[in-house]
Amino acid sequence: MSEQVWYVYQNGQQLGPFSESQLKQMISIKMIPQHAYLFKVGWKDWRPIEEVLSEIGMNAPKPGKVMQERREAAPRATIAGRVIVHNNGQLVIGSGVNISSSGIFVETADRLFTIGENLKLSVRSEALNKPFNATASVIRYNSDPRYSIGYGLHFLELDPQVAGEIQAAVDKLNQMKSKQKTKEAK
C-alpha cells in the first residue's frame, strides 16, 4: 500500500490522509468534487484539484469545463470595485473580479491568508446600490498568471437582502452581456 500523504479539502472540511490509490479511486467515482482542493505532505499550500490530476496520472478535465461547472453552480458576473479583506491582523485591499450570491473572487497579488481561513470583508461596487460587509472563507488562491491572481472566497455570513441585490445585479449584468453578444453576432 502506498504512503498516505494526500489530504482533501471540500465542503469546509479537511479529510485524510489518503494514499494515492485511494485518492484516485475517490476521484474516479466522484466522491471528490471538481471544486475540491488537494494537499500533499511536503507542499506549502493547497491546490485546486484540476492542477493535481496529471501529477497522480489522471486526465484533467478541460479548464473550460471546470469553470463552466462552477459558473452553473453559482451564476456570477464581473464587477469593478474595491474589496477590503482582513483577519483582524492582516489586511488586503483588492479588486472585485466576479461575484455571485455565494462568493466573490478578489484580485490581489498579496498572499497573506490560507485556505479555510475565515475573513471579514467590505465590498464597494458601482454594480451594487450600496457597500456591504460579510464574512467569508478562503476556498482557493490562484497564482497562475494566465488568470486573475487572487482569492476565491465563499460567503459564510451575508445579509439576505444583500444576497438578493447581488443576484439581481448578476442577472442584470449577464442579460446585458447576452444582449451584446447577440448584437455582435448579427
Which pLDDT does position 74 carry in this prediction?
56
| Lowest-confidence region among 43-47, 66-70, 149-153 | 66-70
Give the residue-averaged pLDDT of 79-85. 89
Residue owning grid cell 469545463: 65
Q: Which residues contact 19 (CB under 8 A, 6 or more apart)?
A: 1, 2, 3, 4, 5, 6
Judged against a pLDDT cut of 90, whether residue 10 lies above it is answered with: no
User: Band of the pLDDT at 37, cuts 50, 70, 90?
Assistant: confident
Please measure the distance between the N-terminal and C-terminal CA atoms of the chain and give it in whole angstroms: 60
Judged against a pLDDT cut of 60, whether residue 72 lies above it is answered with: no
CA atoms within 13 A on the CB side of 118: 7
Sign of CA dihedral 52, 55, 56, 62: positive
Q: How many CB atoms lie within 10 A of CB 112?
A: 16
Judged against a pLDDT cut of 90, whether residue 19 lies above it is answered with: yes
Taking all residues of the chain, what is their mean pLDDT, rounded to a whole number?
83
Q: Which domains does the chain have, with CATH numbers?
A: 6-71 (3.30.1490), 74-185 (2.40.10.220)
Angle CA 46–50–55, to nearest 5: 80
Strand partners, 129: none
Helices (H), the chain: 20-28, 49-52, 63-73, 160-185
Strand partners, 38: 8, 47
Q: Which one-letter amino acid corresponds to residue 67? A: M
pLDDT digits (tens, 9 = 90+) for 90-136: 999 999 878 888 889 899 999 899 888 999 999 998 888 889 999 99
Which pLDDT does position 69 carry in this prediction?
54
Judged against a pLDDT cut of 60, whether residue 70 lies above it is answered with: no
C-alpha cell at 17: 490522509
User: Band of the pLDDT at 85, cuts 50, 70, 90?
Assistant: very high
| Cβ–Cβ < 8 Å for 66, 92 | no
* Cut 0.75: pTM above it: no
